[in-house]
């Protein structure tokens, strides 16, 4: 960091804005969990929810899914403080890249609410825990799923309709793979979404190479747009785009770009 | 009988006035009321010897000399060779005889005449072979004696070059051939010679601490020659000694920083309040975060200006205090076991004493540096009224704006900037009454704009972090001294504080505080052995607030990421609380060397609707002249923070916290200009407001212990060198509600070593250094983090509270001053360099997004600041 900037940061006490050489959140190197989704995130009574995760940086990762009936605490390492309950589904949910939170009966939901100390039981949040391991590294991840007493559907996951890429020479909708771009090219990215109210939408952008203008974009002031300066060396670069809503919806798309020598 | 020790330097017939006067506990310094000129010894005449004889004068409460003893003497001939012993003895005899005839105005401490000791030096100039009898000296009495018969031939006044302040007691000698006459300037610096023969005369004027002035004057028959002699301060005079006075302390530990001494400390921009951080018992809290005192949080120390509380003592960033050094007489710092006159804070007490205004004409100072510019003016309005005004405006915003790269992730729309103003009107109609109006106000602001708010926090709605704070104070103080045993000090103040803080559109705090303070302190000197002080301390405050926040982190807690939106609470309210305290204290000299100071204070806190009794006791014992031992014990209660009490943030049922202060100390002062203090202290804290996991949110179940030792070696200005060495060894721990074991306090710093020194070099150069070595403060490490999808980020997994520690801090600061003194004004240029060897001291720890990797956040790098100061 430049001396002048260090001076300013020290004077201002703006610690987080003046961090030195720590890894950036939106640059993917090694094993990363970028998102955990539940479909649906608000689960109507008697329905299951499909669980999935966006993992980057590992082809042969192992997965272990659990759920916990009560909230966990950071100072306890987010360990689930209760054991399996006889009248609730098993806390273990599977060991694949995807899993399923089973359907809760009304009795099970009431039991859950009682465990959480709720006098009434219109809905109960449960915590989904995921452990991802690969090549000696391990990441813990959590997300919340809301179980509803009602059978009507609640908020759903949003949908990424398209991610448009535009350079000086090209304008195209990104596909999963097959696009080649010159090294160090500056690409304008724009996400088109459905199923999300724009004001509640957050887009998180991740790349394995090159540099992004923003780690996250929101409707104000940046909008669902970003700029990706591609790596200056040839090779494969990945772009991960995660779309979230304020109601707990999560979805994502992954793209590959072949970076060529200019 | 108690005796205030104040050691001053003086020459010939009077005390040099304020610039070289004693600091410390005296409200009013003794001034020469009646001069006495020693007879030049006949035995020394033939050898043409000159001499300096320093006396220690013990003055009684009327300002009369009780005893005069010699502390130093030397006599030399014109070539500088030492005089024979009989000659030196004759000079000593003459000086002692004259010293006993001197009379002074009484010194006063806290409104009462007090006995003092002072050092007073007579200088004997080598005479011409035949010297007529000296002309009687004028005095400072209001009705000076009638001049001798004859015509005034030469008259003038003696002033300090640069400040133009009158110098009393100057030795003035005129010579023409074999004829030589001498006289002494009166308290106004004026002198006269009568019936001098026309023709050329040599005029020599000398005052200790100043360079002698020699000039040739031409007298004409029938005319009166008027001259003004400006003397330049001889700052590198090896005999120049300035010692801060000490009144008998009612406390075990009281540190005094005179404004004059503090302005010369490197690394604190010449600010006497900021120089507090160099004293024992004061830990480092990081840039601009206040001062933890003896294991207490910065907010537990109370700051007063002349006894009236202020919310903040320094501007944003911590570069300047809210008071200009020109208005400050001294800063009293009590790290613990303070008098019953103070309360409501379990940490320390800082009381800033303002200068008594005594301008003889318009004086002023202009100070300009890379940070800010300030102006100070003072002037008399007739004989009884004096005024002083001051103002300061920073432009650090422009400097920082230029320093931050345009393409960076942050920009400063309003960088830290401050302005302030102060005004004093002092009316002293007679010796009994002193009325002072004091106004103080200022405004601080800072706004930082970030290019992408969402990068900082997924839930951020704006990209700015900003704060603005405005304060206004107005007070009236009336001091009454009966001239006998009674005195009274009444202070009434009103204040208004407003502020607005916003963080990324998520956190906001808007407040307005209106306050009224009334403080009355009466003193009754029952006898020579017993003085009783009693008083009332009332403060009522109306708080109006609008806040959106999560529950503020408390001591021991750390916020690594802003909590999710559902943990934010919006509260709007208005609350008026009155706190009132009554206190009484006795200073009782049981024996010549033994003094006990029992005291008691009852505090009623409106916030908790509870009253608390705080007994205090200090015992002091003086062994010989050089040793003083003291011990103290006392209780202090402190109201909880507002957010800990008001709904929905806190628990209205919490009570004040409590501290038991105990300390023992020893002071050794073998020389006037050198002292060594050692204090052992133990502080027990209980009823601390501590967070709990149930619906109460907070309960008074926290406890704490602080144990330590302070060492303070101080050299006043002597032989060109002044400064101090302070060392604090301490351990501070807390036990939270429900915890079974204690943990380190947030600001626990085992070792704090500070060396402050200033050396006066020839040609008005001065070199100041400050070096600090401080243990790193505790930190709570994170054992990695857990990815939380809804947060689009990681939540840290905290390790044991404060189980980590930052690396040690050490830093060298240097200040070089050069002063040019002209007759009517003086000019000083300085270069202040902080962190001379550019050490990257860790002020905090920054973690990576997943809390697996950490990096130290470095503090100030090498930072040179240049500035100039002009005074007249």
Residues of A in contact with B403 (CB under 8 A): 4-5, 7-8
* DSSP β-ladder status, A235-245 and A62-68: unpaired
Look at residue B409 in the predicted model and tell me its pLDDT: 58
Confidence of residue B65 (pLDDT cuts 50, 70, 90): confident
Containing structural domain, residue A198: 159-260
| Residue B224, domain CATH | 2.60.40.10
Nearest Cα residue to B330 out of B365, B356, B311:
B356
In a domain, B26, yes or no: yes
Is A49 in the same domain as A143?
yes
The tens digit of pLDDT for each residue in B446-478 reads 887 777 666 777 777 777 888 899 999 999 999
Is A119 in the same domain as A194?
no
What dihedral angle (degrees, nearest 10) is formed by the CA atoms of A114, A119, A120, A121? Answer: -20
**pLDDT at B439 exceeding the cut of 60:** yes
User: Residue A148, by phi and psi: left (phi above 0), alpha (psi -120 to 50) or beta?
Assistant: beta
Listed by number, the residues of chain A in 91-130 with a beta carbon closer than 8 Å to a beta carbon of chain B are: none
Give me B2's structure tokens. Answer: 């108690």
Roughly what angle, to the nearest 10 degrees, separates helices B396-403 and A3-12?
140
**pLDDT at B15 exceeding the cut of 60:** no
Nearest Cα residue to B169 out of B359, B386, B385, B8:
B8
Q: Which of A181-185, A247-251, B350-354, B565-569 has the lowest mean pLDDT?
A: B565-569
Is A125 in the same domain as A184?
no
Is A42 in the same domain as A128?
yes
**pLDDT at B40 exceeding the cut of 90:** no
**pLDDT at B661 exceeding the cut of 80:** yes
Is A173 in the same domain as A75?
no
Confidence of residue B130 (pLDDT cuts 50, 70, 90): very low
Nearest residue in chain A measured CA to CA from B796 = A74
CA angle A94, A97, A103 (to 5 degrees): 45
Look at residue B270 in the predicted model and tell me its pLDDT: 79
Neighbours of B56 (CB within 10 A): 18
Contact between chains at A78 and B797 (C-beta distance less than 8 A): yes
The tens digit of pLDDT for each residue in B738-780 reads 999 999 999 999 999 999 999 988 888 999 999 999 999 999 9
Match 């960033």 to its residue by tokens: B317
Residues of B in contact with A218 (CB under 8 A): 453-454
Give me B511's structure tokens. Answer: 């407040």
Q: Residue B226 in contact with residue B219, Cβ under 8 Å?
A: no
Look at residue B22 in the predicted model and tell me its pLDDT: 34
The tens digit of pLDDT for each residue in B74-109 reads 777 766 677 888 888 888 888 888 888 887 777 777
Cα separation of B173 and B207, whole Å?
12
Q: Residue B306 in contact with residue B353, Cβ under 8 Å?
A: yes
Q: Please, what sign has the CA dihedral across residues A68, A71, A74, A79?
A: negative
- Domain end marker among B178, B197, B231: B231
Cα separation of B164 and B361, whole Å?
9
- Domain end marker among A148, A178, A194: A148
- Check CB contact of A79 with chain B, cutoff 8 Å: no
Is B502 in the same domain as B588?
yes
Nearest Cα residue to B49 out of B12, B84, B100:
B84
Is A135 in the same domain as A205?
no
Backbone angles phi, psi at A112, to 5 degrees: -65, -45
Cα separation of B654 and A71, whole Å?
28
Strands (E) in B451-568, as ranges, are: 464-481, 486-503, 507-525, 530-549
Q: What is the mean pLDDT of residues B659-677?
A: 93
The tens digit of pLDDT for each residue in A243-262 reads 999 888 999 999 999 999 87
Look at residue A228 in the predicted model and tell me its pLDDT: 94
| Residue B665, domain CATH | 2.40.170.20
* Helix/strand/coil for A113: helix
Domain count, chain B: 2
In a domain, A3, yes or no: no
What kind and span of H or E run contains B95?
Answer: helix B85-101
Contact between chains at A14 and B448 (C-beta distance less than 8 A): yes
Residues of A in contact with B288 (CB under 8 A): 13
In a domain, A6, yes or no: no
Is A181 in the same domain as A90?
no
Cα separation of B735 and B684, whole Å?
12
| Residue A251, domain CATH | 2.60.40.10
Listed by number, the residues of chain B in 268-327 with a beta carbon closer than 8 Å to a beta carbon of chain A are: 286-288, 317
Is B207 in the same domain as B110?
yes
Listed by number, the residues of chain B in 460-499 with a beta carbon closer than 8 Å to a beta carbon of chain A are: 461, 463, 465
Nearest residue in chain B measured CA to CA from A18 = B857
Confidence of residue A4 (pLDDT cuts 50, 70, 90): very low
Is B440 in the same domain as B561?
yes
Cα separation of B491 and B480, whole Å?
12
In a domain, A23, yes or no: no
**pLDDT at B123 exceeding the cut of 50:** yes
Q: Please, what sign has the CA dihedral across residues A80, A85, A89, A91?
A: positive
Nearest Cα residue to B110 out of B255, B248, B296, B316:
B248
Cα separation of B76 and B84, whole Å?
9
**Helices and strands: H and E segment counts in chain B:** 5, 49
Look at residue B24 in the predicted model and tell me its pLDDT: 40
In a domain, B243, yes or no: no
Q: Which of A42-46, B26-30, B209-213 has the lowest mean pLDDT?
A: B26-30
Question: How far apart, in Å, do the first and last CA atoms of chain B sit?
Answer: 42
Look at residue B479 in the predicted model and tell me its pLDDT: 93
Confidence of residue B274 (pLDDT cuts 50, 70, 90): confident
Is A214 in the same domain as A186?
yes
Average pLDDT of every residue of chain A: 86
In a domain, B313, yes or no: yes
Give me A258's structure tokens. Answer: 């072949």
The tens digit of pLDDT for each residue in B473-532 reads 999 999 998 877 899 999 999 999 999 998 888 889 999 999 999 999 999 999 989 999
* Helix/strand/coil for B278: helix
**pLDDT at B842 exceeding the cut of 80:** yes
Contact between chains at B787 and A14 (C-beta distance less than 8 A): no
> How many residue pairs bridge chain A and chain B with CB atoms within 8 Å of each other?
145
Is A172 in the same domain as A136?
no
**pLDDT at B6 exceeding the cut of 80:** no
Cα separation of B287 and A12, whole Å?
9
Give me B398's structure tokens. Answer: 């422009």
**pLDDT at B717 exceeding the cut of 60:** yes
Backbone angles phi, psi at B743, to 5 degrees: -140, 160
Which residues are CB-contacts of B419 (< 8 A; sequence separation ≥ 6)? B391, B392, B393, B394, B442, B443
In a domain, B251, yes or no: no
In a domain, A67, yes or no: yes
In a domain, A24, yes or no: no
pLDDT top residue among B815 and B14: B815
Domain count, chain A: 2
In a domain, B615, yes or no: yes
Q: Please, what sign has the CA dihedral across residues A104, A109, A111, A116?
A: positive
Is B186 in the same domain as B278?
no
pLDDT top residue among B673 and A94: A94
Is B209 in the same domain as B278?
no
- Domain end marker among B231, B256, B287: B231
Look at residue B29 in the predicted model and tell me its pLDDT: 66
Is A170 in the same domain as A85?
no
**pLDDT at B583 exceeding the cut of 90:** yes
Is B533 in the same domain as B399?
yes
Containing structural domain, residue B413: 274-871
Nearest Cα residue to A68 out of A89, A48, A44:
A89
Q: Please, what sign has the CA dihedral across residues B681, B686, B692, B696?
A: negative
In a domain, A189, yes or no: yes
Cα separation of B739 and B91, whole Å?
74
Cα separation of B810 and B774, whole Å?
6
**pLDDT at A152 exceeding the cut of 80:** yes
Which residues are CB-contacts of A139 (< 8 A; sequence separation ≥ 6)? A31, A32, A33, A131, A132, A133, B787, B850
Confidence of residue B405 (pLDDT cuts 50, 70, 90): low
Nearest Cα residue to A206 out of A56, A66, A21, A65:
A56
Look at residue B423 in the predicted model and tell me its pLDDT: 96
Is B282 in the same domain as B204?
no
Is B394 in the same domain as B536?
yes
In a domain, B846, yes or no: yes
The tens digit of pLDDT for each residue in B603-649 reads 999 999 999 999 999 999 988 878 999 999 999 999 999 889 988 88
The tens digit of pLDDT for each residue in A92-150 reads 999 999 999 999 998 899 999 998 888 888 999 999 999 999 988 999 999 999 999 99
In a domain, B262, yes or no: no
Cα separation of B403 and B393, whole Å?
19
Contact between chains at B863 and A7 (C-beta distance less than 8 A): yes
| Residue A63, domain CATH | 2.60.40.1080
| Mutation site, A5, A12, A81, A242, interface B, largest B CB count within 10 A | A12
Q: Which of B166-175, B256-265, B434-443 has the lowest mean pLDDT?
A: B256-265
Cα separation of B811 and B772, whole Å?
5
| Mutation site, A1, A13, A157, A249, interface B, largest B CB count within 10 A | A13
What kind and span of H or E run contains B256?
Answer: strand B255-258
**pLDDT at A232 exceeding the cut of 90:** yes
Match 């729309």 to its residue by tokens: B413
Q: What is the mean pLDDT of residues B166-193?
A: 85
What percent of chain A shows pLDDT beyond 70? 89
Give me B394's structure tokens. Answer: 């920073």
In a domain, A42, yes or no: yes
Is A170 in the same domain as A134?
no
Look at residue B257 in the predicted model and tell me its pLDDT: 76
The minimum CA-CA distance between B376 and chain A, rounded to whole Å, is: 27
The minimum CA-CA distance between A252 and chain B, rounded to whole Å, is: 12
What does the buried/exposed string (b/e) look like for B615-652 if buried means 16 or more CB atoms within 10 Å of the residue's CB? ebebbbbbeeeeebbbbbbbbbbbbbbbbbbbeebbbe
Burial of B823 (0-12, 13-18, 19+ CB in 10 A): middle
Q: What is the mean pLDDT of residues B301-315?
A: 83
Confidence of residue B132 (pLDDT cuts 50, 70, 90): very low
Contact between chains at A244 and B796 (C-beta distance less than 8 A): no
Cα separation of B274 and B371, whole Å?
15
Average pLDDT of every residue of chain B: 84
Match 């309960």 to its residue by tokens: B699
- Domain end marker among A84, A117, A148: A148
Q: Which of A119-128, B67-76, B144-153 has the lowest mean pLDDT?
A: B144-153
In a domain, A233, yes or no: yes
- Domain end marker among A116, A148, A180: A148
Q: Residue B460 in contact with residue B504, Cβ under 8 Å?
A: yes
Is B186 in the same domain as B293?
no
Number of alpha carbons in the 13 Å side-chain half-sphere of residue B727: 8
Q: Where are the alpha helices (DSSP H) in chain A?
A: 3-12, 106-115
Is A186 in the same domain as A83?
no
In a domain, B248, yes or no: no
Q: Residue A56 in contact with residue A205, Cβ under 8 Å?
A: no
């Amino acid at each position: 960091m430049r001396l002048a900037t260090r001076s300013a940061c020290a004077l201002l006490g703006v610690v987080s804005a003046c961090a030195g050489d720590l890894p950036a959140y939106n640059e993917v190197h090694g094993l990363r969990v970028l998102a955990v989704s539940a479909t649906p995130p608000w689960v109507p009574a008697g329905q299951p929810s499909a669980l999935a995760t966006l993992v980057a940086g590992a082809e042969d990762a192992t997965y272990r899914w659990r759920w916990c009936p009560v909230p966990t605490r950071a100072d306890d390492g987010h360990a689930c403080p209760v054991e399996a309950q006889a009248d609730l589904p098993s806390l273990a949910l599977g060991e694949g890249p995807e899993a399923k939170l089973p359907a809760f009966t009304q009795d099970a939901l009431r039991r859950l609410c009682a465990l959480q100390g709720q006098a009434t039981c219109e809905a109960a949040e449960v915590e989904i825990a995921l452990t991802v391991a690969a090549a000696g590294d391990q990441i813990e991840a959590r997300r919340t799923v809301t179980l509803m007493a009602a059978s009507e559907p609640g908020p759903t996951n949003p949908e990424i309709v398209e991610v448009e890429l535009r350079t000086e020479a090209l304008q195209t909708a990104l596909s999963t793979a097959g696009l080649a771009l010159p090294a160090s090219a500056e690409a304008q990215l724009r996400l088109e979404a459905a199923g999300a109210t724009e004001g509640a939408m957050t887009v998180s952008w991740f790349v394995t190479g090159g540099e992004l203008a923003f780690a996250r974009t929101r409707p104000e002031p940046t909008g669902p747009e970003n700029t990706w300066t591609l790596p200056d060396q040839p090779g494969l670069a990945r772009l991960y785009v995660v779309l979230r809503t304020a109601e707990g919806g999560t979805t994502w798309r992954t793209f590959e770009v072949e970076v060529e020598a200019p | 009988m108690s005796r205030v020790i104040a050691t001053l330097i003086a020459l010939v017939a009077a005390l040099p006035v304020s610039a070289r006067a004693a600091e410390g506990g005296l409200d009013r310094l003794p001034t020469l009321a009646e001069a006495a000129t020693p007879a030049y010894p006949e035995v020394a005449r033939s050898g043409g010897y000159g001499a300096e004889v320093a006396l220690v004068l013990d003055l009684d409460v009327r300002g009369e000399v009780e005893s005069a003893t010699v502390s130093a003497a030397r006599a030399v001939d014109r070539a500088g060779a030492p005089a024979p012993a009989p000659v030196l003895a004759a000079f000593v005899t003459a000086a002692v005889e004259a010293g006993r005839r001197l009379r002074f105005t009484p010194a006063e401490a806290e409104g009462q005449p007090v006995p003092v000791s002072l050092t007073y030096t007579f200088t004997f100039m080598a005479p011409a072979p035949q010297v007529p009898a000296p002309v009687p000296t004028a005095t400072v009495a209001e009705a000076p004696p009638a001049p001798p018969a004859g015509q005034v031939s030469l008259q003038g006044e003696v002033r300090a070059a640069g400040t133009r302040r009158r110098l009393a007691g100057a030795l003035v000698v005129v010579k023409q051939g074999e004829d030589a006459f001498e006289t002494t300037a009166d308290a106004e610096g004026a002198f006269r010679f009568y019936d001098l023969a026309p023709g050329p005369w040599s005029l020599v004027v000398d005052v200790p601490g100043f360079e002698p002035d020699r000039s040739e004057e031409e007298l004409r028959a029938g005319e009166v020659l008027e001259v003004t002699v400006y003397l330049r301060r001889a700052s590198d005079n090896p005999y120049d000694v300035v010692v801060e006075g000490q009144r008998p302390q009612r406390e075990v530990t009281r540190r005094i920083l005179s404004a004059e001494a503090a302005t010369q400390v490197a690394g604190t921009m010449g600010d006497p309040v900021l120089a507090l951080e160099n004293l024992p018992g004061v830990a480092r809290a990081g840039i601009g975060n206040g001062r933890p005192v003896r294991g207490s949080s910065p907010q537990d120390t109370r700051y007063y200006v002349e006894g009236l509380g202020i919310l903040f003592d320094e501007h944003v960033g911590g570069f300047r205090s809210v008071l200009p050094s020109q208005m400050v007489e001294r800063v009293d710092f009590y790290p613990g076991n303070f008098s019953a006159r103070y309360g409501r804070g379990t940490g320390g007490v800082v009381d800033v004493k303002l200068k008594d205004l005594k301008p003889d004409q318009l004086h002023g100072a202009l100070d300009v540096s890379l940070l800010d510019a300030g102006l100070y003016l003072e002037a008399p309005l007739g004989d009884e009224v004096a005024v002083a005004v001051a103002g300061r405006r920073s432009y650090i915003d422009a400097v920082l704006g230029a320093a931050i790269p345009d393409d960076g992730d942050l920009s400063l729309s309003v960088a830290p900037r401050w302005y302030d103003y102060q005004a004093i009107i002092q009316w002293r109609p007679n010796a009994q009454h002193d009325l002072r109006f004091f106004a103080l106000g200022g405004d601080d602001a800072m706004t930082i704009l970030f290019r992408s708010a969402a990068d900082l926090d997924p839930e951020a709605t704006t990209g700015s972090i900003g704060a603005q704070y405005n304060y206004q104070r107005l007070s009236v103080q009336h001091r009454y001294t009966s001239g006998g045993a009674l005195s009274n000090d009444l202070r009434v103040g009103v204040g208004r504080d407003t502020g607005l803080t916003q963080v990324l559109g998520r956190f906001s705090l808007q407040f307005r505080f209106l306050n009224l303070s009334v403080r009355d302190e009466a003193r009754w000197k029952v006898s020579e052995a017993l003085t009783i002080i009693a008083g009332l301390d009332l403060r009522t405050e109306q708080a109006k607030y609008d806040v959106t926040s999560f529950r503020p982190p408390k001591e021991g807690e750390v916020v690594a990421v802003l909590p999710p939106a559902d943990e934010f609470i919006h509260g709007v309210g208005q609350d008026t609380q009155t706190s009132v305290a009554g206190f009484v204290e006795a200073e009782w000299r049981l024996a010549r060397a033994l003094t006990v100071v029992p005291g008691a204070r009852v505090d009623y806190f409106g916030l908790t609707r509870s009253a608390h009794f705080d007994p205090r006791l200090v015992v002091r014992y003086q062994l010989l002249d050089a040793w003083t031992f003291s011990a103290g014990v006392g209780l202090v209660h402190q109201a909880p923070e507002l957010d800990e009490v008001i709904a929905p943030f806190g628990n209205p049922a919490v009570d004040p916290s409590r501290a038991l202060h105990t300390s023992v100390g020893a002071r050794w002062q073998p020389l006037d200009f050198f002292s060594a203090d050692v204090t052992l202290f133990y502080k027990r804290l209980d009823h601390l407001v501590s967070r709990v996991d149930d619906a109460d949110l907070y309960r008074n179940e926290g406890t704490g212990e602080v144990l330590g030792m302070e060492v303070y070696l101080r050299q006043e200005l002597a032989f060109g060198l002044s400064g101090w060495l302070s060392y604090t060894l301490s351990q501070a721990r807390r036990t939270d509600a429900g915890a079974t074991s204690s943990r380190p306090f947030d600001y626990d710093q085992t070792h704090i070593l500070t060396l402050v020194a200033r050396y006066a070099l020839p040609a008005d150069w001065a070199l100041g250094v400050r070096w600090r070595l401080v243990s790193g403060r505790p930190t709570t490490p994170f054992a990695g983090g857990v990815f939380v999808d809804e947060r689009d980020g990681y939540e840290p997994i905290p390790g044991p509270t404060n189980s980590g520690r930052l690396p040690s801090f050490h830093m060298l600061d240097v200040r070089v001053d050069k002063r040019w003194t002209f007759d009517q004004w003086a000019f000083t240029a300085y270069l202040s360099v902080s962190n001379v060897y550019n050490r990257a001291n860790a002020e905090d720890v920054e973690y990576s997004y997943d809390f697996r990797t950490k990096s130290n956040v470095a503090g100030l790098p090498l930072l040179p600041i240049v500035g100039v100061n002009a005074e007249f």
